[in-house]
A and B are shown apart, each in its own frame.
Chain A
């Protein structure tokens, strides 16, 4: 298996999807078992990958390259580094969990699973693509199934933001449509999501093509481009080309992240999507944005990244606070989680913006952690929805009597989402804080307040769902009793807590991916240029205090062995 691990991970779901085409919907069990076994293969391979990835060696491993078009310089070039590995793992975990979460889908089961598998496989494909073309290819491929998943198996969203009259379609022909959240049908969501993401994907594509064209290397291969492409100092449109490319790539991909104010597709999309899709969507699909920015912008345009990344640092504040506030106000469970996701993605941007070893590692771990946390929450919101057929928080309540298991898991999910110690989120959070403080103290404070806000709205939602008086209408609701129902939650919880308590390997893996990157980005700079005047106000006692870890005088050689053996 070994070196082909990536292929197993990537193509097992595709193969599953292919196999499903030939199965009839009359045999749902067969459908599910095919889907789950495909996902299981992928999951196993991902775990193998994760643990077989050698952080000491670092770099891209398990590389496979297949020529696709010689003329255009396109090849199916797969490989993972320390950043991709955990995300691949997260994707396959969420896929596996998602298949069990959607175990009870009765309508067109086969098709659902086909699209779900394709969605996940495409996402995984992005995480392991080392070729810009295929990166983009998988990126788009992961967006398109969302349309079908939302449009066919989604649910209409009601009562979001005091929306009015969801059924009155006449509104669509009037100006009222503009302010009409009544257009919150699943079709609206699906259309909005796909159009929005595709539009911005095209923006990113433009960036990619500019890279392709102006690098003059006739290749889409990231590894080649990052070594040889020289895009600096080409004047264009009153500025330099690299900046234009960077901005195109950044905003093109950041829209899926989603960075404020490009987030509006996301909550509505989450809300309309079926649970498993929401999980994958919020869990890993949004990370495509960060990941692609890291892969494309960070790798190929390091200097420009250093120059322009403060944009993200500014926007992330808005993401955090704004998303938190809206989540606080929303009355729909999935909107709450959706906005919380878009708020939390701000932390990832913060970690990325600070551009140092710790914070960027924190950002990557946060992506992984958030995948688990938000996956749990969406799974449970989905369960509640399946039982009560409403997501309107005010009309729910007291469900903890009916579903103790779910409510207990929900607590864990909330805690994970808040970054309660003991979950891997906490590790990520503290790394982001530690890393970013010197460069962006204000943002860190804002992020901290964001945590408080997160707790406020998640607890508010938890109280709304599970405590207080129960509506007798929902007395038939029942808990997740069977293994199939509990399995996904337990997997995600155990992963979240397991890595929260033993994050060493995860950390090593991520560090091995982040270190060369940060070194690339930061080392080209003379020390004087960054960090001066920020952070420490240290005085004569220890003059070196004024420098920050960000601007370390020399790269700190990353040697996991040392830290692993430690002292004593």
Chain B
């Protein structure tokens, strides 16, 4: 019954545009509480739609589902092509979920221009959703770039730090710098398609559509060029190791909500998985690429962890831990085997709960002491047992304790990396140790021990709204940790298709669409 009703219903478009339409509605609302309520309602409806998509999603299938395809700029082969598969569908849910939490979190932590804030947030949701559901590279790029605008304003206008202008600009410039290279890469893909198409006299001589591009063989040398161009785009956004310096700044200076989105939604690595690897399989598996990228990933793991060890500010620590985690993801991705890819994908989702969750924790701490500097804390567990508990749960998830979601992802990544080359895994494992070290070190010094000297007054434990956030995150963490089967089932088909794509020879892809249409 429901299926009949919803067949052909453009649900992805609804998901995509609901927030931005909602943002427009917010524009006319004046009363602040009303703004908050409306924003929350919109976010919840969005979440409901996303959950609906997740429920209706056929797992274990590599096919693109909920496809919507409208020709947009036919002459250039640009189309409005939305669809989700096992790789992207989880991000839809995650985005909606995190946005709900951010709205709840921002309920009274954002003290000025709440309306504008909510509008930016919802606009951000639309753009991030767009990144995840677009199958047309230009459409993807559109959202990829548009995402910068709300982000910029969120960091700039609601950031807490003194350097927030710099951080906002740095973030935007950095990302833009990468993405212009990516744009060139996209253009090259299109040119390649065009050449192929004009030789084969297809009716569509230009295309930016992922599925179209997948059918077209690309010479390996060309693939390498495109790969590095796109790599820059994704690596800057991710951020992969040497390109990470915007991250601590943006996270430290920006508002918590923005930080949650930035670290929670791994758009850069998603880009690798969605576009780079399937489109450029030969480049992706070439020796140099794998070595360079994985070594960067390994550097990121150790470097991020070491950096996190010495940070006195929790948000900086999280930023570097995020770098470290991204290292894991990258290593997993370019291990290019089933476990690696699946683990990376799962880890991307996981970080949406764990690292983002830790940012919420940081936010809770921040709203109590107006800082996340270690010096301002100590022995908090006594005053805030609830917060300390959730801190621990989420933190342990972030360091990959078995039973939490972090473990499943990390385990798969390490397994994949180890399978690819033993020392990939061997080095990456060290990150596990350091992960525990920096997290516990910070936890020990902020939460445990006697009450810190600089702690001002008595701090209240978690408020109801905060508890909702913490509990929902913890539930997700434990769910994925203990029973990840639904999630893995969703991924399996697509990951398998991706692995096939990467492992097959170029010749096979010439014949067309094993990956493409059946996808």
- Residues in chain A within 8 A of chain B (CB atoms): 358, 411, 415, 418, 420-422, 426-427, 429-431, 433-434, 437-438, 444-445, 448-449, 451-452, 455-456, 459-460, 463, 467-468, 503-504, 507-508, 511, 536-539, 541-542, 544-545, 547-549, 552, 556, 560, 562-564, 566-568
Question: Can you list 28 pairs linking A and B with CB atoms under 8 Å apart?
Answer: A358-B76, A411-B149, A411-B153, A418-B176, A420-B148, A420-B149, A426-B142, A426-B145, A431-B76, A444-B184, A448-B181, A452-B173, A452-B180, A459-B152, A503-B73, A507-B73, A536-B195, A539-B219, A539-B220, A541-B220, A544-B199, A545-B192, A548-B191, A549-B194, A562-B203, A563-B74, A567-B203, A568-B69
In the complex formed, the residue of A with least CB distance to B203 is A567
Give the shortest distance, in Å, between B225 (CB) and chain A (any CB).
8
The CA-CA distance from A269 to B217 in the complex, in Å, is 51
Question: B187-201: contact bitstring with A at CB < 8 Å (1 yes, 0 no)?
Answer: 110111011101100
The CA-CA distance from A501 to B264 in the complex, in Å, is 30
The CA-CA distance from A504 to B70 in the complex, in Å, is 13
Also in contact, A463 and B169, with CB within 8 A (given A420-B146, A444-B184): yes
Give the shortest distance, in Å, between B244 (CB) and chain A (any CB).
18
Chain B residues with CB below 8 A from A431, complex form: 76
Question: B135-173: contact bitstring with A at CB < 8 Å (1 yes, 0 no)?
Answer: 000100111111011001100110000000100010011
In the complex formed, the residue of A with least CB distance to B139 is A421
> Is B29 at the interface (CB under 8 A from chain A)?
no
Chain B residues with CB below 8 A from A547, complex form: 195
The CA-CA distance from A468 to B183 in the complex, in Å, is 32
> Is B71 at the interface (CB under 8 A from chain A)?
yes
Chain A residues with CB below 8 A from B145, complex form: 420-421, 426
Select the residue from A421, A459, A467, A539 with max chain B CB neighbours within 10 A.
A421
Give the shortest distance, in Å, between B511 (CB) and chain A (any CB).
14
The CA-CA distance from A459 to B157 in the complex, in Å, is 14
**Do the beta carbons of B165 and A448 come within 8 Å of each other?**
no
B contact residues, range: 35 or more
Also in contact, A421 and B191, with CB within 8 A (given A507-B73, A545-B219): no
Chain A residues with CB below 8 A from B186, complex form: 430
In the complex formed, the residue of B with least CB distance to A562 is B203
**Do the beta carbons of B184 and A427 come within 8 Å of each other?**
no
The CA-CA distance from A566 to B80 in the complex, in Å, is 14
The CA-CA distance from A269 to B153 in the complex, in Å, is 33
| A422, A455, A536: the one within 8 Å of B222 (CB) | A536
**Do the beta carbons of A538 and B221 come within 8 Å of each other?**
yes
The CA-CA distance from A445 to B229 in the complex, in Å, is 11
The CA-CA distance from A422 to B181 in the complex, in Å, is 19
Interface residues of B in 489-519 (CB under 8 A from A): 506
Question: B39-80: contact bitstring with A at CB < 8 Å (1 yes, 0 no)?
Answer: 000000000000000000000000000000101011110000
The CA-CA distance from A536 to B226 in the complex, in Å, is 11
Also in contact, A467 and B169, with CB within 8 A (given A433-B183, A538-B222, A567-B203): no
Chain A residues with CB below 8 A from B221, complex form: 537-539
Give the shortest distance, in Å, between A102 (CB) and chain B (any CB).
29
In the complex formed, the residue of A with least CB distance to B144 is A421
The CA-CA distance from A562 to B197 in the complex, in Å, is 15
**Do the beta carbons of B205 and A556 come within 8 Å of each other?**
yes
Question: B204-237: contact bitstring with A at CB < 8 Å (1 yes, 0 no)?
Answer: 1100000000000101111000000000000000
**Do the beta carbons of A455 and B176 come within 8 Å of each other?**
yes
**Do the beta carbons of B74 and A434 come within 8 Å of each other?**
no
Question: Could you count the A-B residue pairs with CB atoms below 8 Å apart for me: how many are there?
Answer: 130
| B75, B146, B169, B177: the one within 8 Å of A563 (CB) | B75
**Do the beta carbons of A549 and B219 come within 8 Å of each other?**
no
**Do the beta carbons of B184 and A437 come within 8 Å of each other?**
yes
| A429, A536, A567: the one within 8 Å of B219 (CB) | A536
Chain A residues with CB below 8 A from B196, complex form: 542
Give the shortest distance, in Å, between A435 (CB) and chain B (any CB).
9
The CA-CA distance from A542 to B217 in the complex, in Å, is 9
The CA-CA distance from A448 to B156 in the complex, in Å, is 25
Chain B residues with CB below 8 A from A564, complex form: 74
The CA-CA distance from A547 to B194 in the complex, in Å, is 11
Chain B residues with CB below 8 A from A438, complex form: 191
| A427, A449, A549: the one within 8 Å of B180 (CB) | A449
**Do the beta carbons of A504 and B219 come within 8 Å of each other?**
no
**Do the beta carbons of A451 and B180 come within 8 Å of each other?**
yes
16 new A-B contacts, CB < 8 A, other than A456-B173, A459-B173, A511-B75, are A421-B145, A426-B145, A429-B183, A430-B138, A434-B190, A438-B191, A444-B184, A452-B176, A456-B169, A504-B74, A537-B222, A538-B221, A541-B219, A542-B219, A549-B198, A556-B205
| A468, A538, A552, A567: the one within 8 Å of B204 (CB) | A567
The CA-CA distance from A452 to B170 in the complex, in Å, is 11
| A420, A549, A560, A568: the one within 8 Å of B195 (CB) | A549
The CA-CA distance from A542 to B71 in the complex, in Å, is 29
Chain B residues with CB below 8 A from A537, complex form: 219, 221-222
**Do the beta carbons of A507 and B76 come within 8 Å of each other?**
yes
In the complex formed, the residue of A with least CB distance to B205 is A556
Also in contact, A504 and B75, with CB within 8 A (given A433-B187, A544-B199): yes
The CA-CA distance from A420 to B143 in the complex, in Å, is 10
Also in contact, A415 and B76, with CB within 8 A (given A434-B187, A539-B219, A549-B198): no
| B73, B169, B191, B194: the one within 8 Å of A504 (CB) | B73
| B172, B205, B219: the one within 8 Å of A455 (CB) | B172
Chain B residues with CB below 8 A from A467, complex form: 156-157, 165
Give the shortest distance, in Å, between A490 (CB) and chain B (any CB).
15
| A415, A448, A460, A503: the one within 8 Å of B184 (CB) | A448
In the complex formed, the residue of A with least CB distance to B219 is A538
Give the shortest distance, in Å, between A522 (CB) and chain B (any CB).
15
Chain B residues with CB below 8 A from A541, complex form: 217, 219-220, 506
| A448, A463, A511, A539: the one within 8 Å of B183 (CB) | A448
Chain A residues with CB below 8 A from B199, complex form: 542, 544
**Do the beta carbons of B184 and A552 come within 8 Å of each other?**
no
| A411, A455, A468: the one within 8 Å of B165 (CB) | A468
Give the shortest distance, in Å, between A523 (CB) and chain B (any CB).
16
In the complex formed, the residue of A with least CB distance to B142 is A421
| B75, B149, B220: the one within 8 Å of A415 (CB) | B149
The CA-CA distance from A552 to B184 in the complex, in Å, is 21
Give the shortest distance, in Å, between B190 (CB) and chain A (any CB).
6
The CA-CA distance from A422 to B146 in the complex, in Å, is 8
Chain B residues with CB below 8 A from A549, complex form: 191, 194-195, 198
Give the shortest distance, in Å, between B129 (CB) and chain A (any CB).
15
Give the shortest distance, in Å, between B137 (CB) and chain A (any CB).
10
The CA-CA distance from A426 to B73 in the complex, in Å, is 13
Give the shortest distance, in Å, between B134 (CB) and chain A (any CB).
11
Interface residues of B in 396-410 (CB under 8 A from A): none
The CA-CA distance from A468 to B205 in the complex, in Å, is 49
**Do the beta carbons of A556 and B183 come within 8 Å of each other?**
no
The CA-CA distance from A253 to B4 in the complex, in Å, is 63
Chain B residues with CB below 8 A from A504, complex form: 73-75
**Do the beta carbons of B198 and A556 come within 8 Å of each other?**
yes
The CA-CA distance from A541 to B192 in the complex, in Å, is 13
Chain A residues with CB below 8 A from B184, complex form: 433, 437, 444-445, 448
Give the shortest distance, in Å, between B298 (CB) and chain A (any CB).
29
| B144, B148, B180, B191: the one within 8 Å of A434 (CB) | B191
The CA-CA distance from A250 to B194 in the complex, in Å, is 32
Interface residues of B in 282-318 (CB under 8 A from A): none
In the complex formed, the residue of A with least CB distance to B156 is A467
In the complex formed, the residue of B with least CB distance to A565 is B74
Chain B residues with CB below 8 A from A445, complex form: 184
Select the residue from A460, A552, A563 with max chain B CB neighbours within 10 A.
A563
The CA-CA distance from A452 to B178 in the complex, in Å, is 9
Chain B residues with CB below 8 A from A539, complex form: 219-221
Also in contact, A421 and B149, with CB within 8 A (given A452-B173, A456-B169): no
Chain A residues with CB below 8 A from B181, complex form: 448
The CA-CA distance from A421 to B220 in the complex, in Å, is 30
In the complex formed, the residue of B with least CB distance to A431 is B76
The CA-CA distance from A545 to B141 in the complex, in Å, is 26
